[in-house]
Amino acid sequence: MEKIKIYAPVDGIVKAIENISDPVFASKSLGDGVYIEPSSDIFYSPVKDGRIELITDTKHAIYFSTNNYNVLMHIGLETVALSGKPFSLLGKQGQEVSLGDEIVKVDWKIIEAANLPKVTPVLVDLNSVSKYKLTIKNEGKKVKKGELIYEIEIEDVKIIKDNKIKIEKREGKYKSLALKYLEAIGGKNNQSLVHNCMTRLRFKIINKDLVNEKALKEIELTKGINWNGEELQIIIGGEVYKVKDECQKIIDNKSTSDEKQKITKVPRKQKIMGAITAIVFPTIPILIGTGVISGLQAILAISGVISNPAPGQSVMELDLFSSLMYIMSKVGIELVGIVFLCSTVKYFNGDPWLAIWLGAALTSRYLFGSGWTLFTLFGNPIVIKTYEGTVLPMICAGLLLVFLNNWIKKWMPTSVDIVFRPALVFLSTFLIMLFTVGPFFRIIEQFIAKFVILLGKIPFGIGMGIFAMIWQPLVLTGTHVAVVTVIALPMNDGDPSAMYACLQIAIMGQIGAVLALSFISKNQKTKQAIFASLPGAIFGVTEPIIYGINLPKIKPFIFGCVGGLVGGFVAGVLGVAQYRRTGTGIMSWMGLDIGWGIVFGILAGFISLITALVLTLMLYQDRKSEYIAFRENNKLLLKTVKLNFDFDDTKLKSLKEELAKETLAIKDFNKNYKNYENTLISLQKKEIKKQNIINRFEMKKEKLYNKILKLEDKDLDKYNYFANKYNNLKLPENFNELVIEIKELELKLSNCEKEVKTFNTQKYKEVSDIIDNLNVNKNQILEDYKKVYLNAINSIDIAYELTEMNNLNWTKKEVLNLKTREEMKHVK
């Protein structure tokens, strides 16, 4: 059994750490031990054989190491604020120490003058120890320096062949996150469906009132949230699959509660949009996977490694490798309708096996051959033929299948149901699709295809520019997958699609905007989100950078769209067009015309990126300074007064002077604002570093835990070996130093915040008094105008998402006239 002995570093009274007034120390998050009420001014080493590992810049906290454990001596509470003035170092960092070695001398008069507690925690970091016993010597009594004040016995976990070592049951990272998400949406019973796409976790919500959006945003993986009708979309990123799987496992463990949820009424339009989104997005991984394989096939074909079939040539006439690559690249595109059909049936709780049967029949080229012409419309034959590569008809087939299946189930006798219902549902759906629904949707698809193609033919690249500009807004609506299928139709027939080439150009615009934000923003969490989302965006998955970063800031999203407009225009002028699907993102460049087509396509993409980047750098401010925002508010207020109040020059001059006085005070306080912001940035950096260390540690622990579970019933010796290793895993030595640094920054930030809040409260009151003196008629618009001043002085907290912006629900024109739109209509 290992023992750690800690000795009094100073004369004083010893007390248990849980009785200290500071909640952080009392919680033992920084270690377990005691605190001393010191009665002398020189502090000595608290360990018999150790080393000084760290002395903080403010000299109030000193870390020692002994027997591979860290010991903290923290002189006084909140003494970090004194910037080291009371402390004279007698030892130095890196020094080997023993009992009797002087470490630091303290001037208690400075600490007493600041009215700060003198109590000194002396703690051992035991976060990595599973079981220990702490014995305090002479608790509540006065001790002399060098006396033993407490002893810690750490229990060894011995490997005994016939006994299993116990390990704490571990909740996986994603299960823990799933529990948080389910709790935040109002419980697992407040949803009727959970699914995901490439980046979003999607819940079909029963009662919106139970959803805690604030809690959702605070979960570490959340990059943004979005509502689409009754569907809640949580932007997560690439880890969404694992979270969704864990959510599904928890949901499948049905609750026995009979509590009925209040059902939120959702407008029909929102229900339809929610259903479309839920059907479309689960298919995205297959579409992207198909694109990657198509891209690989195209690269191999371009490089001459494999061959493509010539017009009229059977794929079977190629060599085996070329045939297989061609089939794999085409099957996902040609049979995409089955995926949409199955997704539709699953969403509406239909029979997936019937969906596969129907989908296979409707997409079978060998059964249909060249098809049969029903009639001709405007010179275009409407043909009964295979439904390969179609989307809208197959979604409709899914809806029809579910409806007919439920309807027939109601009246068919149960004795023959299993024999006749599947066949009857299949036949009915198949024939209705062939002769009515299918032809109707073929007309619609042809119309959309022609419209998009016509848009691409608008001269001088204008049509392509417009399409590239509106592409990302289409992504927001969730309708972009269906649009992709339409604009890809020319490529299915061997023709180029100019509009398809616009997709990557639009993506590059959003990438340019988010890159600019990485330079502009001082918010470390925003930077972290940007760099986490960029790899996905490069390969075509833009939802995280749109929902999590660009869209909430509005202007960067708009500048990204403008970048798409410029890049699309250039692409149109240069004649860029897509000849084959080769994946999403930068992979799509391989599908452009070989040679100059690829060069021009890449050029257009980078013009889109640079345009958005430059516009964002030049025209977007992550936050306006308090002084600038205050001054702008004054200008609008003065204009409003001139238009609505009968002020003579003297009154107007007096008002200007009052506002100028307040503005000057804001300017003079700017140094304090900067100090507050810089401290906040430093704290964010440290917190991110801390979280990264914890994440790496948790990953290591989870990997070891899973290994232990596999060995549990197979090899007891190995199981015990790894269980012992698991139980004794420790965070790195610098972790506790980092925790101390964070605590010091938190204290510094708290002091800065108090100073800023006090000043802001005073300034807001003074400005409010000025407006109240003007607003004798209690005009609501003028009353609400106070909010813009509150936003100005809270600029830092708003930019760093510590508080929300107050929205002024009036237009600039309404503010200037102090009248609502309706009131202005009645003014002659």
Task: Give the separation between CA 20 and CA 700, rounded to whole angstroms.
Answer: 34
* Residue corresponding to tokens 């929205």: 807
Same domain, 682 and 702: yes
Q: 3-state class of 592 per DSSP?
A: strand
What's the rounded mean pLDDT across residues 116-128? 88
In a domain? residue 558: yes
Confidence (pLDDT) at 256: 38
If one compares 456 and 561, the residue with the highest pLDDT of the two is: 561
Same domain, 96 and 202: no
Of 172-181, 291-300, 348-357, 559-568, the range with the lowest mean pLDDT is 291-300
Contact 563, 508 (CB under 8 A): yes
Q: Does pLDDT of 326 surpass 80? A: yes
Same domain, 599 and 680: no
Q: What is the pLDDT of residues 706-722, one digit of tens each?
A: 888 888 777 777 888 88
Q: Does pLDDT of 208 surpass 80? A: yes
**Sheet containing 120-124: which strands, arranged edge to edge?**
96-97, 50-55, 61-66, 69-74, 120-124, 32-38, 12-16, 142-143
Same domain, 549 and 682: no
Same domain, 533 and 651: no
Return mean pLDDT, the chain.
Answer: 83
Confidence (pLDDT) at 172: 66
Sequence letter at residue 590: M
Q: What is the percent of the chain where pLDDT is above 90?
A: 34
In a domain? residue 323: no
Domain containing residue 581:
457-619
Contact 145, 11 (CB under 8 A): yes
In a domain? residue 574: yes
Q: In 438-494, where does DSSP find H-type helix?
A: 438-456, 462-477, 480-487, 489-492
In a domain? residue 294: no
Confidence (pLDDT) at 703: 85
Q: Does pLDDT of 246 surpass 70? A: yes
Rounded CA Rg of the chain: 34
Q: What is the percent of the chain where pLDDT is above 70?
A: 86
Cα→Cα distances 239→48, 245, 560, 735, Å? 49, 10, 26, 26
Other CB atoms closer than 10 Å to residue 217's CB: what's the count? 14
Confidence (pLDDT) at 814: 82
pLDDT category at 663 given cuts 50, 70, 90 is very high
Cα→Cα distances 304→284, 326, 599, Å? 30, 14, 20
CATH number of the domain at 81, please.
Answer: 2.70.70.10
Could you give the count of Cα atoms lying within 13 Å of 58 in the half-sphere of its Cβ?
19
pLDDT category at 497 given cuts 50, 70, 90 is confident
CA 148 to chain centroid, in Å, comes to 51
Same domain, 115 and 238: no
Confidence (pLDDT) at 607: 97
Confidence (pLDDT) at 159: 40
Q: The tokens of 450 are what? A: 């022609």
Same domain, 426 and 480: no
Task: Give the separation between CA 36 and CA 150, rounded to whole angstroms.
Answer: 12
Overall number of domains in the chain: 5
Q: The tokens of 709 are what? A: 């579970």
Same domain, 605 and 630: no
Q: 3-state class of 687 per DSSP?
A: helix
Length of the chain: 828
Confidence (pLDDT) at 262: 47
Q: What is the pLDDT of residues 32-76, one digit of tens each?
A: 999 999 999 999 999 998 999 888 888 998 989 888 788 999 999
Catalytic pick among 197, 247, 396, 502? 197
pTM to 2 decimals? 0.58
Task: Give the separation between CA 204 and CA 107, rounded to whole angstroms.
Answer: 64
Q: 3-state class of 724 per DSSP?
A: helix
In a domain? residue 312: no
Task: Give the separation between CA 659 and CA 647, rounded to whole angstroms.
Answer: 16
Same domain, 351 and 212: no
- The dihedral formed by the CA atoms of 804, 810, 811 and 813, expressed in degrees to the nearest 10: -140
Whether the CA torsion 370, 373, 374, 377 is positive or negative: it is positive
Task: Give the separation between CA 296 and CA 300, rounded to whole angstroms.
Answer: 6
In a domain? residue 446: no
Q: Output DSSP code: residue 2.
A: E
pLDDT category at 273 given cuts 50, 70, 90 is low
Task: Give the separation between CA 628 and CA 630, rounded to whole angstroms.
Answer: 5
If one compares 384 and 355, the residue with the highest pLDDT of the two is: 355
Q: Does pLDDT of 294 surpass 50? A: yes
Q: The tokens of 741 are what? A: 């640094």
Confidence (pLDDT) at 270: 53
Q: Does pLDDT of 211 surpass 60? A: yes
Contact 549, 526 (CB under 8 A): yes
Task: Give the separation between CA 685 and CA 528, rounded to whole angstroms.
Answer: 10
In a domain? residue 87: yes
For residue 197, indicate whether it is catalytic.
yes
CATH number of the domain at 223, please.
Answer: 3.30.1360.60
Task: Give the separation between CA 279 and CA 268, rounded to whole angstroms.
Answer: 16
Same domain, 474 and 613: yes
Contact 142, 5 (CB under 8 A): no
Query: Of the residues 619, 647, 679, which one is the last residue of a structural domain?
Result: 619
pLDDT category at 257 given cuts 50, 70, 90 is very low
Same domain, 647 and 595: no
Query: Of the residues 222, 257, 292, which one is the last residue of a structural domain?
Result: 257
Task: Give the separation between CA 33 and CA 152, rounded to whole angstroms.
Answer: 9
801: left (phi over 0), alpha (psi -120 to 50) or beta: left
In a domain? residue 571: yes
Query: Of the residues 619, 639, 658, which one is the last residue of a structural domain?
Result: 619
pLDDT category at 560 given cuts 50, 70, 90 is very high
13: left (phi over 0), alpha (psi -120 to 50) or beta: beta
Other CB atoms closer than 10 Å to residue 39's CB: what's the count? 14
Confidence (pLDDT) at 230: 79
Q: The tokens of 555 are what? A: 């202007």
Strand partners, 153: 3, 133
Same domain, 50 and 138: yes
